[in-house]
Amino acid sequence: MFSQYFGNYLLNRGLIRPDQLTDALEYQRSMRLKLGVIAVNAGYMTPAQVEEIHNMQKKVDKRFGELAVEKGYITEQQLEEMLATQKQGHLMLGQALVDRGHLTIEQLQEALENYKKEYGMSSRQFNVVGKDDSLQIEQIFRDHGEALLGKLYSDYVTLLIKNLIRFVDDNPIVEINQFRSDITAQWFVSQEIYGKINMFTAIACDRDVFVKFAAKFAQEDITEPDELAQASVGEFLNLHNGIFLVNMSNNGVELEMNPQQVEQNRTLANPGKAYVVTCHMTWGRFDMILV
């Protein structure tokens, strides 16, 4: 399994269903991370101790951290660390899954431990989801044999996140996976980049997401996948790739790109070494394919 992301890990282990992941991802956008989840992840408290504090909070008007310190489960310093982590939005997905009843906190703890053991990842690396951190994204590619292309792909995905935030969604969450099987999409917008480096880039999505994507980017009332909708999604890809080319040019690498193409009901056969960047937006999900 390639996925670096906890959501995919849970899916591939059969611990949650895709609809539960989607539900949790939607939910997590509006929530704040609870200290109990942070404490368990950090190894400061057991799930039973967290549960005990939660039960105490039903009776006394005190904060979680305050009670946990009083009980001697954590120190003041650990509480400060946990509060800092909370501000960084760590472990949001795990908490969302617990809050939505898709996992118990015990199941989450076990899954987190196995996940970290399997991938040797630190908490910081684990919490890359949704964060604009190019070094972490680069590490994902480097960890999986893309040492030479790691920086390139990392720059591309980092810029993608920035552009998604800039143009279509305040809080995108991306997952990076290896391209494993053929992809069929109702709407497929592609653009080739060529020169010293050759890349095939494409946005693949269903009709509903295509229309919403188009309306968001164009800031127009688009309700059908008509010519304007196609122009809009196409222009997003063109704009994103154009900025990528400018960045590469500033680093001394001159690249060119072909006009974007919009197709319906296209199947892309597994091209071998390629990636699928699944972008979870507040209004739907699409795949960015990088070959």
Partner 1 sequence: MSSNRPTILICDDSLLVRKKMKDCLKEYGDFNIVEASTGQSSIELFKQYEPDLVFLDIVMPDKNGIEALKEMMAVKKDVKVIMLSSSGTKSHLKAAMDAGAHDFIQKPWEKSQIEHIIRNIF
Residues making contact with partner 1 (CB under 8 A): 218, 220, 227-228, 230-232, 234-235, 238-239, 241-243, 245-246, 248-250, 254-259
DSSP label of 58: T
Q: Which is nearer to partner 1, 72 or 259 (CB)?
A: 259
Q: Could you tell me the smallest distance in angstroms from the CB atom of residue 61 to partner 1?
A: 50
Nearest of 225, 220, 191 to residue 209 by alpha carbon: 225
DSSP one-letter string for 212-228: HHHHHHHTS---SS-HH
Q: Could you tell me the smallest distance in angstroms from the CB atom of residue 148 to partner 1?
A: 22
Q: Which is nearer to partner 1, 56 or 245 (CB)?
A: 245
Q: Could you tell me the smallest distance in angstroms from the CB atom of residue 274 to partner 1?
A: 23
DSSP label of 101: T
Q: Could you tell me the smallest distance in angstroms from the CB atom of residue 236 to partner 1?
A: 9
What's the N-to-C CA distance of the chain in angstroms? 19
Report whether 272 contacts 287 (CB < 8 A).
Answer: no
Q: Could you tell me the smallest distance in angstroms from the CB atom of residue 259 to partner 1?
A: 5
Q: Which is nearer to partner 1, 172 or 234 (CB)?
A: 234
Q: Which is nearer to partner 1, 31 or 243 (CB)?
A: 243
Rounded to whole angstroms, how far apart are CA atoms 170 and 282?
Answer: 8
Q: Could you tell me the smallest distance in angstroms from the CB atom of residue 134 to partner 1?
A: 21
Report whether 230 contacts 205 (CB < 8 A).
Answer: no
Nearest of 1, 196, 23, 184 to residue 103 by alpha carbon: 23
Rounded to whole angstroms, how far apart are CA atoms 259 and 191?
Answer: 6
Torsion of the alpha carbons at 175, 180, 182 and 184, rounded to the nearest 10 = -10
Q: Could you tell me the smallest distance in angstroms from the CB atom of residue 133 to partner 1?
A: 25
Q: Which is nearer to partner 1, 190 or 230 (CB)?
A: 230
Q: Which is nearer to partner 1, 42 or 255 (CB)?
A: 255
Q: Dihedral sign for Cα 78, 81, 86, 89, please.
A: negative
For residue 89, give Cα distances in angstroms to 96, 130, 168, 283.
Answer: 12, 9, 21, 21
Q: Which is nearer to partner 1, 28 or 260 (CB)?
A: 260
